[in-house]
Structures are given as C-alpha cells and as structure tokens.
A and B are shown apart, each in its own frame.
Chain A
C-alpha cells in the first residue's frame, strides 16, 4: 500500500464494480489501464493499449477467458499473450505479441495494481484491515490533488488506504487512487453488519469530502439551468 518509490500498490476500483466477463478503464498516475475479469473471477490489469494498433483495450470485450480488442478482435489470454487473430484464424500468434500485464491483487473489497514489475511486496495483511470483511459503498472521482484529499480524510503519510474512525459512525475503509496531478478516485467501504442508513451516511460523507477538496482546489462544480 505504500506509495513511496515506484513499486507501490494502487487501489484501482471496488471489486464489486468489476463483474465477471467485463472490462473497465482506470488511470493510475496518468497511466491508462484496462481492468478486466475473466469468467473464473480472476481480475487482470494491463496497460490500456492493444499491441496491434494501439486501440484502448478497456473498450474491448471478454470472450473465452481472453480480452478481445474492439478494433480488430485480437484476443489476449490471462498472461497477456495474443491467442487469436480473427483475420488469420489458422495462425498461431507468435509469443512476442503480448499485452502488458501489471501485477494485480484483490484485498479488502478492492482491486490493486502494482506500478512496477519488480519491488514492492504484495499489499501486506494489515490486521486492522483483515479482521473484518468490507462492504463496498461507492467510489467518487474528485478533481483535486490526491495529497490534499489524503490529508483531509486522515490517511497516514505515504499510505493510500487506511481504516478511518472519524466523521461518520463505525469503521470506514478509505482508499485513494491518484488518477493524475489534479484528480483522484476515493473508494469507501464499511465494516460488515453496517446498517443501510449508515452506508448512505458514508456515501454522503464522500460527497462532502469531494465538495470540500474541490473547493480548496478552486474547482467548483455546480449544475444549473441551461439555456
């Protein structure tokens, strides 16, 4: 979970937001990612770029345990290697044609990816996190620098996730994905056995965190009547 150095783990999204056989996009410190889950439930995180023509793989679809690019249908298996080229169905694609997988882990209701191939252990089993199972509440995109949000919600220095015990009733797992310089995603989970009303309170608290962080960053998003 440490963000120090290049080998850290980043919380991409709630596990609940990636159904089997679907794809999603994510962005980690400006690096665009394709996140997908195969039919067996295993999550995969790759750079969001098809080795063929550079098309975004996150716009593709999952077929027979492989991620297929929307552009020409090239399919890539769990290890990233190309397994099928529709225009040449009899060809066995060479092993050099390969999407770029990142290391991935699912812990505490979140999908994590490692920014670098080496260094950085798997997200360690923090006893405070492992002691309970976490109920997904929601994720919010915040258009403000992640460091300010981390400070505002009380994440320990250098951490992107922590159990919080403030502002709202009960224990809260908050995780922060730095999307880029001026944007982040805040993921919120509640300790199990939380009443539904408390989940709503936590979702509202997230909206509050978003509004205050964006106000500090000079970003005010106000809907209104449109001529």
Chain B
C-alpha cells in the first residue's frame, strides 16, 4: 500500500501540470496512466501536430509540450505508474483506497481524475463470436510473435500496425490481410511491400472485406469475411488479429458513483471537486457552465484542484498563497538555487 497526498488518474498535460501545482504547495502525488508512455492524447493522437494556443508558447508539438511538462516536474520525483489503469475506488475512514488493474494499491485523501475522454483501449471486432476467443486466438496486440510460427494468421486493418505485422509475420506464418477498402493509410513503403508480397503470393491480400464471424469448436478454426455486396468467404485461421486503432473509453470511472453528464463529470468551479468529497476532475473529462476543452483550461483547473487537495491532505495546516518568483520554500521544492 502506497500512502500519498493525491493520486492523479491520467498523465496528459492537465495531469502533469496539476502534479506541478501539488509539488509547488508541498504535496506528494502518484500518477497512473493506461498508456505505456507519458503525455496522454498529446503523445498518442498528435505527437507531431503543432499546437498554437498554449499561452506564451507560439507553437509547439504535442511531444514538445509533454517533454517540457515532464521537465517542469522533474525535481519533485513523482512516481509514474504506466501501462496500468485505476480500477477501483473505495472509501475507508475518510481516505480513498485506489486499486489498479496491475494490483497496486494507494491510500490517499485525494484522487484527481485527469482522464481526458477516458482510457485508450484497442477497438475490437464488432462480432459477438470473437469475444469467446479474446486474448487467446483473437488478439489486438502482439506480445510474443513466436506463437504465430507456422500458423495461419488473418490480420484485419489498413494502418501501419496491420501492414507491419503482415510483413513481419509473413516470414514464418501463412498470412491473410483483410481491409475494408483498396487504399491503405500506412506508410507508402509498407503499402508497396505488402503489394509485392501479395503479387508473389506470400501474403493473401483481401480488400473490400470485413469480418462477419469467427468459428471454432473449442479452439479457433476459421474466420468468415463478407463484402458489402453480401458475398462471404471462409478462411482457415489459427489466430485473428485486429488493428483498428485505439478508442477512448470511460471504463471503470463510470462505476465510481460520480455524477456523470454523458461522458463527462460535473464539477464545481471553485476547486473542481466532484459530488464525492476528495475526488476532483480536471481537463477534458470535467464539465461546468462555460467549459472549454483546451489545454490551458486544464492547467487552470489543475492549479485550483491542487489547492482543493491541500485541506484534505494537511487538515491541521493553513494553506498560504505564495509566488514562485519570491518564495524560498517553493524554490527549495523546485531545487533551484537563489542567486542573490
């Protein structure tokens, strides 16, 4: 059990800057994110796209913004728990017990939800029959490619993941690549390579088809695909792989007894607390009259939520407002030297 002043759910820009604000006022926090890297949507959706509306930064990319935010909180040495998802929240004696899907546990008076539009999850096949084999022979990511050796593998998708794995696995497996249209959105070189492998009959390429059904008797045996005109075909398969990108899902957050408005969490605008004491929501996931889904709004919300955490984390102390320009306490926390 890790005891801390606050757990931040989500390591996007809003969560990162909120951590900074907690650090500035002398609180500790632990940051959990479902992705394998820090940065949230900035790093997952648009690492290379320029952003033009960060105050005093005329232009930066999602990746640059993330790197700067990480740099800004480095001195606090907060722990990141990546590839992990907050699963359960329970209230015990006025403290929140936070459990993650990897089995970590935190005890904290404050939980700050900075979850964007939810956690990123792979988009799955729409067919019900695929659920039975989910994680066994129907897969959405690859951990160990050796399991596919000498097997029949049917890959669905038209992006880089689908193309790259089709090329790689075709060296040792019998590959069918299925995509809903003739154009691919992957890198041109990979598209070219797949077309070559298709011409030399190394890869069985099927375009304008989508999944209809998966069949098997205990273990997976085949996958049925359909064209839009209704024609269907059956392909023998030991494994089926789907690469349809990531979708954002609210996930377990919906189960925590918070008021929800569609996929967002209503908060007050004084400290961004939700209907539950000690649970705050900031950034894209929160809503209030006039809410703007901008990174700069998330920064403001995080600054106020951090102050809101103070009274629960230090009930016997009075919060004192200080500027970073003048406070020696803050400079100590930031690890900067006073030069006067």
Co-complex (A, B)? no
Q: Give residues in B with beta carbon < 8 Å to A.
A: none
